[in-house]
Amino acid sequence: MNTVIVDPQVLRSIHRSELRKKILMYLSEIYPSATYLSEIARVVGSDPSNVRGALVGLGNRYNGESSLVYLGLVEEVSNNGFKYYRLTNYGKKVVDYLKEYYRYYRRFM
């Protein structure tokens, strides 16, 4: 496995939100494809406004500085007036790191 340096703020943001984790894992499954907000919400079983908050921030409830786009894990792509989201290369490396991390620590739970 390639070594990836993960910013502690990134790890903190992911560990504080089960929804952010689910979004990252789903986008990792379809990587490098992009998808739209409603599809992400349907797959992860959450409301589109909550998914939007996790992706780009939303008022007081979702801090923009902890959002997946702000942290560089997900990118927003505009095409013909529609917005799509996909994992960045860095986001894919972070998800791969997390999968190994959880696999390792699961032995102790």
Percent of the chain with pLDDT over 90: 77
**109: confidence class by pLDDT, cuts 50, 70, 90:** low
CATH number at residue 84: 1.10.10.10
Report the number of distinct structural domains present in the chain: 1
Whether residue 62 is contained in a domain is answered as yes
Phi, psi of 76 (to 5 degrees): -100, 125
Whether residue 1 is contained in a domain is answered as no
Whether residue 84 is contained in a domain is answered as yes
What is the pLDDT, as a whole number, of residue 60? 77
- Domain holding 96, by residue range, is 8-107
Whether residue 3 is contained in a domain is answered as no
Counting every residue written for the chain, the total comes to: 109
Report pTM: 0.90
Mean pLDDT of 33-50: 97
pLDDT exceeds 80 at position 107: no
Express each pLDDT in 63-76 by its tens digit: 889 999 999 999 99
Contacts of 20 by beta carbon, 8 Å cutoff, 6+ apart: 13, 14, 54, 68
